[in-house]
Chain A
Amino acid sequence: AQSVTQLGSHVSVSEGALVLLRCNYSSSVPPYLFWYVQYPNQGLQLLLKYTTGATLVKGINGFEAEFKKSETSFHLTKPSAHMSDAAEYFCAVSSRSQGNLIFGKGTKLSVKP
């Protein structure tokens, strides 16, 4: 079975500060990993994904994540937070033989001016 744990249900940063959202996964097969963002009253939008190949993945809006197999982690980072980054972020895991995504419980990011 696969699972995802997101550390911290709420993270608050100042505008211009580093954003770090943590995600650890559990999977008995090579995982495919995703980060989605949800703005208020909207659906989920893909930020970035890792399937195979390069372990440092760049996504939209300046976000990136690094797949670390030894640490079973896929943390999301952004060097400088912007007010528009305030949203809820979900980490998800899947695999080659699995169609659906298993989501973590989400981390709500607040950005202070």
Chain B
Amino acid sequence: DSGVTQTPKHLITATGQRVTLRCSPRSGDLSVYWYQQSLDQGLQFLIQYYNGEERAKGNILERFSAQQFPDLHSELNLSSLELGDSALYFCASSVVWGAGELFFGEGSRLTVL
């Protein structure tokens, strides 16, 4: 158990819909990262937050957004969903910003029908 909690574990929805994925980092970790894992793209970095502020952005679509709240949990919002958004979405956390070990949750599997 990494200490990172993600909900929901599985989510099935239809094209055009909007979903929210939630992540609770390990106790004391200030950094939260979101990754998307798909068969064709592998593990893609989406976005990182540190203590409530966005610190780095990767290959995140404009239809996707995220935020980190004062209690340090984070949410990833995916809107206008397309079939290609079906993937495993991982949240990870770390104590510091910069080259520390990332601790990963078990992921939220999104299926768009």
Contact = CB atoms under 8 A, between A and B. Distances in A.
Nearest to A105: B42
B78 interface: no
B31 A43 contact: no
Contact of B98 (A36, A43, A46, A99): A99
B48 A100 contact: yes
A10 B2 CA distance: 27
Interface string A16-40: 0000000000000000101010000
A32 B2 contact: no
B4 A43 contact: yes
B106 A99 contact: no
A41 B107 CA distance: 9
A77 interface: no
A103 B43 contact: yes
Interface size class on chain B is 20 to 34
Interface residues of A, number: 25
B91 to A, nearest CB: 9
Nearest to B44: A103
Interface stretch (B14-22, B50-58, B65-73, B79-87): B50-58
Contacts, number: 61
A99 B43 contact: no
For chain A, what secondary structure do more than half of its interface residues adopt (helix, strand, loop), or is it mixed?
Answer: strand
A101 B45 contact: yes
Q: Which of B2, B50, B99 has the most CB of A within 10 A?
A: B99
Contacts of B90: 43-44
Given A46-B103, A98-B56, A99-B31, 10 more contacts: A43-B2, A43-B104, A43-B106, A44-B90, A44-B102, A46-B102, A90-B43, A99-B33, A99-B99, A102-B45
Interface of B: 2, 4, 31, 33, 35, 42-43, 45, 48, 50, 55-56, 58, 90, 92, 94, 97-107
- A-B pairs with the 5 shortest C-beta distances? A43-B104, A103-B43, A105-B42, A44-B104, A32-B99
